[in-house]
Chains A and B, each alone.
Chain A
Amino acid sequence: MKHSFAIKPFVACLFVLMLLLCSCGNHAGSGKHKKIAVIVSTLNNPWFVVLAQTAAAQAQALGYETKIFDSQNNTSVEADNFENAISAGYNAILFNPTDADGSVSNVQEAKSAGIPVFCMDREVNSVDAATSQILSDSYSGCVAIGKYFVEKMNKRGKYVEILGLVGDNNTWNRSKGFHSVVDFFPGLTMVAQQSADFDRNKAMEVMESILQAHPDINGVFCGNDAMASGAYQALVAAGKANDVKVFGFDGAQDVIESIQAKKILATGMQFPKVIAKTAAMYADEYFKGKRDFPKKMPVEVELVTQENVNDYTGYGKKE
């Protein structure tokens, strides 16, 4: 009697386990039910929310089961996400890395498990780990903004640069692109260069303080659109919104509206939706047998100004 009591639950467990294994086996075996994981660096920023949701929606529209994994800007959380995605039997990963170097080993792990990885927006520093990298060309985008900046400032005046997180690659790519043009014009003096961590409120506070030291500035270039909105708000409060030209970068919904309302002068439109859709389509083609993908596929950043703003909407072109 004692024995049967101990054995019954054990047998039951074994049976359930077998059932589970069978269903898993079936799942992986059927070619039609392929699954695509979307692993994104953060969902704490609307730009990446758009990127992740578009990638998932496109993959779903192509008939795949999808799930979004949030790495919370943390490379070790990202490693967990990769392990979970691999062990849960996902067949491809649409990937937005947290760190160009730190993420390489995660991509390598997926590759050795036979799972193709398609990088979106940010790159990983490895030539062959990812199947393809679809990248936003921030440097060239900021070169274009720099040219427009010089034109609108009439090649002279004092300006301020508000940087993003100083530990972030994108911050310096954007800054270098901008300065590669603007620094050739001796009439343009940068009176302050400060960081506001890509944050709207910090940008407002930094701008308020800068306006105290330099009430006579003519322009401000911000490393993203949230900071451009914050800087503009500080200018409004100081009654200088009409005297200072504001330039942003990203193509966020509220800045597109601000450009339409002639508040902000220009922004660089990145195309998270285009990047995400391309990545999902590449994964689909991979399943259908295609293997010769471009290792790097740059997606151009477009200059949005008050003249052409009506062609655009938040995070993309009007369709």
Chain B
Amino acid sequence: MQATTTTKDYKQQLAKLQPLIALFVLCAIISLLSDKFLTVTNVWNVMRQISVNICISTGMTLVVLMAGIDLSVGSILALGGAITAGLLKNGVEFSSFNLYMGFTILGACLAGILVGSVLGWFNGWTITRFKVPPFVATLAMLTIARGLTMLWTKGFPITGLERNFSYLGTGWFLGIPLPVWISGVVVIAAILVTNKTKIGRYIYAIGGNENAARLSGININRVKIAVYTIAGALAAVGGLIVTSRLDAAQPNAGVGYELDSIAAVVIGGTSLSGGRGTILGTVLGAVIIGVLNNGLVLLNVSPFWQQVVKGLVILAAVIIDKANNKGE
């Protein structure tokens, strides 16, 4: 008895370390092949690039822990960024009231995040109120939010934003790039929520067994709506970073980001059937994808091969994860 429990414990510990080991192996291989990989500037470069995916994937992890999925994050990212950029550049005009509203940077950013939250809330509402499967509800939102972005931008990029706004994506604070600060704060907050709060325990409980969670008195619908709202808000935060870094909001920004985000969550060891996984695992997953993207370009690998390699890495991560969790 004793022996089996310890091996199981040991195996679980190992499973948690897996993404970390994979990351080390990946870094070792790339740094052997390119002396430019492990330099300070390149490390910051990779961190800055993955900060957007980390924001989105943190929200996605919370959703997936409840055995849900959110396919709309890429479109919400585009809309959040576009709303902020549009308000910064043009403000809002109510011609019938002869009223013009200009926006400060903070006001425009908050408006972008607010719009993201509302769309996220709408996801949660359709999923809980009408029992629409999350896959379908967020798939619908994927096209709705993209369409709204097209309407808002009329299909053209919004460029030439206020100079100070670019600080958000390109600035430094205490020797660390600002996007890294933002994603760091998001990650720490999410870790605290999942580990230390009631709602965090509810999220795991819902993903583990929804009926049991309902019977134990958890207001499942409220938790779900809250989590989808957070996911929408975090996607919009990602949109702010992208827009600020590019000094432009593109109507087709974030196409396919949901896949990168789901990949980060899965590589990080979170189960798509819910109940099992960590925020930290997802961060490692996002770092692995970021390092892979960066390394393949540093080594000038042909673009055809890059897609194959990325797919194989995701597949390998999931297969190893499955093998380790056979017992459960």
Chain A residues proximal to chain B, CB less than 8 Å: 43-46, 49, 163, 166, 191-195, 199-201, 204-206, 208-210, 212-213, 226, 229-230, 233, 237, 253-254, 257
Contacts and interface: CB of A to CB of B under 8 A. Distances in A.
Nearest to A237: B170
A285 B289 CA distance: 55
17 contacts: A44-B155, A46-B155, A166-B303, A204-B246, A208-B45, A209-B293, A209-B298, A212-B36, A212-B39, A212-B41, A212-B42, A213-B36, A213-B298, A213-B300, A229-B246, A233-B247, A257-B159
B79 to A, nearest CB: 14
A166 B154 CA distance: 27
A253 B154 CA distance: 14
A43 B251 CA distance: 10
A163 B303 CA distance: 9
4 pairs of A and B residues whose beta carbons are closest in the complex: A195-B303, A49-B155, A209-B297, A212-B42
A195 B160 CA distance: 25
B294 interface: yes
Nearest to A53: B155
Interface of B: 34, 36-37, 39, 41-42, 45, 48-49, 146, 150, 154-157, 159-160, 170, 242, 245-248, 250-253, 255, 293-294, 297-300, 303-304, 306
Contacts of B251: 44, 46
Nearest to B50: A205
Given A44-B252, A163-B303, A204 B42 contact: no
B45 A45 contact: no
A127 B45 CA distance: 50
Nearest to A230: B246
B157 A213 contact: no
Contacts of A194: 297, 300, 303
B253 A201 contact: yes
Given A49-B155, A209-B294, A201 B303 contact: no
Given A43-B155, A205-B49, A213-B298, A254 B303 contact: no
A200 B157 contact: yes
Contacts of B42: 209, 212
A46 B297 contact: no
A209 B245 contact: no
B41 to A, nearest CB: 7
B32 to A, nearest CB: 15
Contacts of B250: 199-201, 226
A315 B259 CA distance: 33
A229 B248 contact: yes
A254 B297 contact: no
A163 B300 CA distance: 13
A45 B306 CA distance: 25
Contacts of B303: 163, 166, 194-195
Nearest to B247: A233
Contacts of A192: 297, 300
A254 B159 contact: yes
A194 B94 CA distance: 46
